[in-house]
């Protein structure tokens, strides 16, 4: 199965892996060989996770031939490239983790929180409940923070192995019952956390009294190499769905510094935006949920999402290309007198009936 075209190599690769797919792909990069550091790093991580995969990259870095082997798992240690945060790597691990041969225990070192990627805190609070719905529970996260650009954080991610994934019917998110959050600060004044919390609460208190935002100030060895602060907010609904938003301070020496009050306020607004979008899975985990639906048993799975993000749309195309699975997409418009945010999208699909073939039969 040859596949050219370009882009989103990461996703593509991930997908490939997951299917343990076929042979090969030549991912043609559009012409920017210089941005390859973190991608090369990512491929190296994949190489560590698999057994029998071959990777060939041509000299200009525009063609990648990747032949995935079996997912092996086990204990893996990896130093991530500080250009991208650990979340970038973790997203892939979350998708691959349940389909390994042996339970995964990955230690990733690098930047835990930055602006571009979903932070580790966010993944911990939202991706894990999503996976739990699919019958994959028992993952663990152990975090030592390290802010961009220096990094120095460490995440230990453990994930059990599953033979099959359960189909889900997530059509009703329920109402939001509580909001939790973590305001973290490293190598800055511990007061920052409190300032963030206060401003965020100011906005969120209009809706709900049950708000608790932890302040997490880290010192010494646990605080990484660079100063910074940020906020992760998670809204939990009655049916156990999690919507989240996050914001980090701009990395030291890059761009304008941001005030903690502004950050708190903006982050709260981001959460409101996320709530406006709604759905049973928040926007950054849409692709994870869709993938697990695709890999489920040959049964109908349904999930209600907010509007599809561009990343998800791209992802859906990859799913179609690799698994020949198309989702039935139905838009649910809110009723006129309803005050429940914007349009929702109901995604329905029949799983491919994937079973973890690398797991050993005892």
Q: How far is the CB of 191 from another protein (least distance, A)?
A: 26
Segment interacting with another protein, rule: CB under 8 A, options 131-139, 154-162, 256-264, 296-304: 296-304
Please say whether the beta carbons of 28 and 5 come within 8 A. Answer: yes
C-alpha span between 48 and 52 (Å, rounded)? 10
Q: Which of residues 214-273 bind another protein (CB under 8 A)?
A: 238, 269-270, 272-273
Q: Does 307 bind another protein (CB under 8 A)?
A: yes
> Which of 331, 309, 140, 168 lies closest to 239 in space, CA to CA?
168
Whether the upstream peptide bond of residue 282 has omega within 30° of 0, thus cis, is no
Segment interacting with another protein, rule: CB under 8 A, options 193-201, 215-223, 251-259, 338-346: 338-346
Please report the beta strands in the chain, taking only residues with DSSP state E, as ranges in sequence order: 26-28, 50-51, 54-57, 63-67, 70-71, 73-79, 102-110, 140-144, 153-159, 169-170, 176-186, 211-218, 228-237, 242-248, 300-305, 328-332, 344-350
Q: Tell which one of 112, 126, 249, 283 touches another protein (CB under 8 A).
A: 283
Q: Give the total of residues touching another protein (CB under 8 A).
A: 94
Q: How far is the CB of 340 from another protein (least distance, A)?
A: 5
Segment interacting with another protein, rule: CB under 8 A, options 134-142, 154-162, 180-188, 322-330: 322-330
Q: Does 2 bind another protein (CB under 8 A)?
A: no
Q: Which of residues 111-140 bind another protein (CB under 8 A)?
A: 116-118
Q: Which C-beta is closer to another protein: that of 215 or that of 312? A: 312
C-alpha span between 357 and 145 (Å, rounded)? 35
Q: Does 333 bind another protein (CB under 8 A)?
A: yes
Q: Which of residues 13-42 bind another protein (CB under 8 A)?
A: 19-22, 29-32
**DSSP β-ladder status, 344-350 and 328-332:** antiparallel
What is the SS3 string spanning 106-159? EEEEECCECCCCCCHHHHHHHHHHHHHHCCCCCCEEEEECCECCCCCEEEEEEE
Q: Which C-beta is closer to another protein: that of 189 or that of 259? A: 259
Q: Does 300 bind another protein (CB under 8 A)?
A: yes
Q: Which of residues 157-186 bind another protein (CB under 8 A)?
A: 167, 169, 175-177
Q: How far is the CB of 44 from another protein (least distance, A)?
A: 17
């Amino acid at each position: 199965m040859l596949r050219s075209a370009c882009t989103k190599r990461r996703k593509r690769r991930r997908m490939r892996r997951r299917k343990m797919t076929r042979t090969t792909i030549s991912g043609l990069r559009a012409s920017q060989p210089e941005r390859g550091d973190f991608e090369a790093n990512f491929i190296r991580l994949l190489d560590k996770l698999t057994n029998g995969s071959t990777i060939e990259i041509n000299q200009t870095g525009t063609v990648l031939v990747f032949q995935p082997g079996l997912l092996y798992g086990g204990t893996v240690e990896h130093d991530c490239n500080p250009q991208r945060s650990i979340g970038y790597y973790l997203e892939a691990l979350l998708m691959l983790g349940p389909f390994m041969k042996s339970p995964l225990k990955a230690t990733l070192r690098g930047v835990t929180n930055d602006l571009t990627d979903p932070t580790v805190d966010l993944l911990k609070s939202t991706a894990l409940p999503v996976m739990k719905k699919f019958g994959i529970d028992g993952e663990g996260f152990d975090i030592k923070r390290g802010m961009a650009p220096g990094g120095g954080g460490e995440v230990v991610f453990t994930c059990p192995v599953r033979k099959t994934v359960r189909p889900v019917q997530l059509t009703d998110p329920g109402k939001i019952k509580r909001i939790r959050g973590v305001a973290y600060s490293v190598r800055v004044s511990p007061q920052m956390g409190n300032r963030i919390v206060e401003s965020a609460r100011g906005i969120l208190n209009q809706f709900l009294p049950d708000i608790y935002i932890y302040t997490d100030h880290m010192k010494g060895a646990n605080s990484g190499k660079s100063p910074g602060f940020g906020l992760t907010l998670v809204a939990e609904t009655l049916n156990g769905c999690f919507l989240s938003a996050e914001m980090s301070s701009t990395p030291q020496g890059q761009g304008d510094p941001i005030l903690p009050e502004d950050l708190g306020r903006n982050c709260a607004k981001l959460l409101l935006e996320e709530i406006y979008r709604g759905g049973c899975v928040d926007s950054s985990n849409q692709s994870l949920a869709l993938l697990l639906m695709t890999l489920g048993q040959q049964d109908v799975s349904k999930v209600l999402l907010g509007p599809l993000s561009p990343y998800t749309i791209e992802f859906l195309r990859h799913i179609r290309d690799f698994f020949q699975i198309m989702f039935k997409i139905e838009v649910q418009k809110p009723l006129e007198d309803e005050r429940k945010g914007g349009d929702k999208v109901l995604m329905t699909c029949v799983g491919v009936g994937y079973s973890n073939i690398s797991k050993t039969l005892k």
